[in-house]
Structure 1
């Protein structure tokens, strides 16, 4: 062994594993061999080769070599010598196995960041000495920013990569020196000289090859553009491939904070606010161009661009980033591996698939780096010469070329398979029978009886005329008639697939005709048409849900954003529990800060409500949830949305008016009380929310504190209540979250919108009617200040447990029920009103409420719950009702609600045939007579 090798190993004595690996490492890399010999000859200390660098250490070392350097030539020499030494360090740690892939990529990226920043600073100092500081017309300094793109932006730089940079500056103006330059001239010089300092080939080599072609207008564009010019460019001229490129954009030099502000401004260009499925087609087109280049240049062995290579893993990950990144912050990460891990954790990719793709990425990047470390050359092709192959085998620890080739083939085949699953070929299906049928119907070449016969033959044998009418109606929609030819072709492809797949449904006509109503609603939104054309899972789920329920069909048509939920059956038919609902909504709401983001936050609540309602309904329709759990989840959903809406409304009020204070200095509390179905945990699809608002402020005339302006506390509370209603009920382009009914507040419509908890208690004790105490049996705290919630609970117990005159109570309740039936009962000779009719739902509720009010003073457990079923259980345990009678009422209640629930999904009224439910109706009537004697 050469003496210099022994000398290197001796200097690495603190890391025996690295020292022992030196012979293998230099066998794998001619570059490292030469670099270590040079370092040995220069008697260079190698202590930092034995450990990972701390954050910022690379930057400090680069800055140190330029201290006192005052000429470009000396700066070039210093940076190149440092680069050579640092690359030797990185290569040795990688090839010896001391550094995992992430350390290698981060070290390479940190080195590039530091060199770009040092070069920029060196050139900037020289330019300012000659021309002064660039300033705006207002005298504000204009700062340079350098964006790292591609692998550098992702902190994933490979060993001999060039670095993709975009130079820009914060504003326009001119320098303030004697030899003044416009800002455009100044920053063009800064970009040009910085680039030269890095890439010029000297006796010491180069620092980094620099590519600036990703800047606006490419080679025809300015070397450095102002922020306003960049904003204008991406809004007006930005292309799809530039969105893809900007995913990786990261400020690497200059004013980094300004660079982050720029990327925030450009975010709407990169990430659409809503899910963007058109991005998949754009990426597919870009990949096709790359494949054509690979074929033309014979680059099949290129592990970056070839089939199953690194680029295909990047495309898989970035497709999800472009589609979903506007809605999910974790997908806006510049780095591939954390995003890939997130995709597996969230179920967008199967967890096993995400893990295998990560392993493939690590393997391919290690191969790529090993190829480039051999001679410090920018290549991605597998070596052909024997010496280079032997070096690669040494670097990868492979036994022979056949073994390494086999492993590569296995990895690339898996990557290719997964890529094809995400980017399935964009076939137009024009040769299929269903496409020919749809095209003929669409063009009018197939009409009348011939059209009906063709549809009958295609599987629509019960009502082919309904299918023909549905297609005709869609064809005449204005947005459809105005479609561009390419979009219309894609629509026909989608329709052909729907025709094929609806035949697999139990009722193909209903499935297809209702689905066509959804297609009509989204006709002007190519994004959603693309989603359905691209996703087999989404089409199948849509057909299934539309066939099952006209209510759900209309729900999806009104809120097409929920179509995204159809992509994954694992989540579609498994709605979250309460804690999951809370966590997910809070995660989505965290980045939003009203009042700046009020519109976006309002839409978030509406989209979330629709997405989760769809998931509950889907699970309901496939009988994955019993009725009680459906109501539970719809109620939980309303609770978390009301709570989040209150947080948003409070933040909005606080920003404007500060906060109201009590006399003890504590912040005033505000609470939301649920009544009716919401309070009774019995919400259905489309239910209103019956709400009452309470506060505990004891100085309503005092002013709020801490805001830009003050208002009296009473007004503050009233405005908060009104804003909360607006957050829930205002109609926006995304619809409304819930209708809100405030009729049950003290004094009804004439009462205050929000009451103090003390005045609420006094009203309930002294002025409330019996029917208001009936309503109180189904009331509970759902959001806001928990102290007020506990206070309300105590008031409720005291009111409900008050001893009452049984005869007077019976008279009040019977009289109220008689009036309700006279005004609301729709029963007639042909049908029976399941809600208001005699022996129906309301009778069961009134029986329960009567017993609660009559007997609660004897047993506190009776008022522990607000839902009908558990109240009946408590009454039975207290001896207020026989167990058999309790069971009969609960069974009747369950049967009625299940029937009414099913009718609501079918958009049908609550009128049953006159003879329906004879047994439970008779049972309820008998119990009414027995208990209430009416």
Structure 2
């Protein structure tokens, strides 16, 4: 009768089975001519035919539907889209009459009509909101579930046969939510009848319980199958509160069981009350006053975002409306809370991060470009602007998009695209869930299932034209579109406000624009508006380009710790650079450069100052190569050339100090961009300091030569962290001065000349210059580690050092020399001095007395040098497990083992740690703990100056400063607390290793 091609054209996968089914005796001969035509409109013709054969066995009258031109497409669209609803009709053949309903009967029903029918199904009577069912127990639950699923069949028939599924999607979601609310009302009526066995019926009647819908049910955009999120609120008349609360909780629990427990007719869906105050740990039902107390004192930002959808569903209507009215002011003022926007954005990131990796690409709801991106974006815009614009006080997503567009918060084109994408994704979600009435948001993987989904998502007339390939293509396009809109739509409305664009684009009132800025994190929205207006005013090329760029730049600036300071810094730099074509082009053409600039300006006071006085350095941000710190040889050559051009004078020294500031800036920018690690930071800063000291030495020697003959060659030896090339921004330079008189020179005169040169070096590095070097962190040299300390000669001859160390060197001086490294001066003299140093620091090992002395000094340092009131757990230098602990342990190991393990002969703490592990002197796990603590402490020390502009050796206590330090150390927004936790943990573990190996504590 039918050819194989006919079956394939109709969409069948199993042609032979379809042929056998068509020949089944249950299907009348007269109906077979219409079967293939009807089945070709089904999403899954195989499923539709199988369900029809099974139905025909139970209810032969269904075969008669096939010949009816009006009923036939309705029947097959339902059977081919939902196996679960076909199973419902098999269980209840009497419900097949639903297929015969006319269009008017299938049209959207009012919430009141749905509630009336649900209550009628259980024979409910009584006052409104306190109905009591005649059908109690399992019979009541059965009747309720059948009535609800009959409504779902009716809604699905309307949905699946719609000429435009996207157009009817909102009304389908609304009717499903109303049907769920009606089911809950009827379940409460059954619950009251059931509770009469356990509570006094009069007490039950006194308890007013309202069920507040949340999420999609509250917003009237429910799925075919979904948890129904609820909150319960109760009141009682002349009844003890504990009794009332017990009855309310029992009634709520009974309702949830009636709706969702297993039974002859399967449960409908889970009633989820976990959005209530305190979640699973909180009381199941509370009074209105208790709810308000919680929200006013303890609620988090996400709870107000959830309350945006709150709506009375069932139970006492007056109490429900009182609840809505009470929470409304809190909902629309929550965007004023500190960190509100960040908390919403953080919640969205957590949703994405918690998706199993294997599901990310298949997620219609939670993944990038999915439904959650639309919902979070829309809700955030509503909450930001709803405080001053009541037109945004709507619950459903499509309605909110419409209102946001009409009020000008989203451009019309963006709103159309967002709305269309959201409707399409919801239709896909509905069709996937309809098949088995199971909660799922995953795109099917099998081609046959994808083809069925493609056909189900189309109107009946377009079914045959859609394939799995077309579905995949449109879905991917939709995801990309949603992701793009989600990432930029929050910031775009500021464009028109700042720049007075044409009416074809978005325009915000000043109040709305300031509300947006405040929600972004700007503490002075009026000031921010002034900066925006200054940047975008006029008809210049710069103003025009800034108008295009600011929406995105404002968002990036807002992601920093201090958006106000960032925007001010951006304005100042932009004004300094004026119409510079390279600057405007960089911002326009390099997202990386623009984003780096914005985040630096809003996260670092120090770098903002440096960029303001050296705005040309912004150009480096567009090139990773430009950000790489210069090598020592390059710096020395550059400084030497500058000094030659200025005759080795103070004016040349001014340029050298500017060079040092420039190189510190380059290093910081490279670190902020993640291009260099902590070792490279220390090396780069040490190289910049070394080149600067070398230049100062050259100028000081030239000044001596200008007056008389140069009698000695001076070298500067770096000590401490400068010697180990492990310094941070703004570190002093611990040094020693060594000289060797030239042949024939008077030793005493040479000594005096060396001391004069050493003094002059310090002056050249720190003295005020004219014109001044703005935003400079001066390089202070400290020679306190020289023999005899501050009481000893500032500079000594090489022979004097040799004699002193041979006769008088004490243990702490040997330890200090572990970091000694030539920094500037004559290479031959430096090499000769280092030979002396190597004999002292590595030559004799450690005696028991030496060990005791080192431990005694360390204990004294801990007791006396820690600032009064400082928390030892948070002091990065002298605190427990901090820099000092790690370095002292490394140094005592070097002094004891360097003779037999030459690889330990290094000035670098981290290199020494690696050598200690490689040589097996300490266990690798212990070395890793020490290294982690030292590295984190070093990064925190540098980050504190970069972020706050103030040097400090203590982890910041203020939230803003701690957050800024955390961001610089690579933590996400809100990572300040995590940084402190990580620091405490790392240093606690490092301290345990230190005590075990330094003091011998077990």
Aligning the two structures, in what range does the TM-score lie when normalised by the shorter sequence? Answer: 0.3 to 0.5
Greater CA radius of gyration, 1 or 2?
A: 2
| TM-score, normalization by structure 2 | 0.42
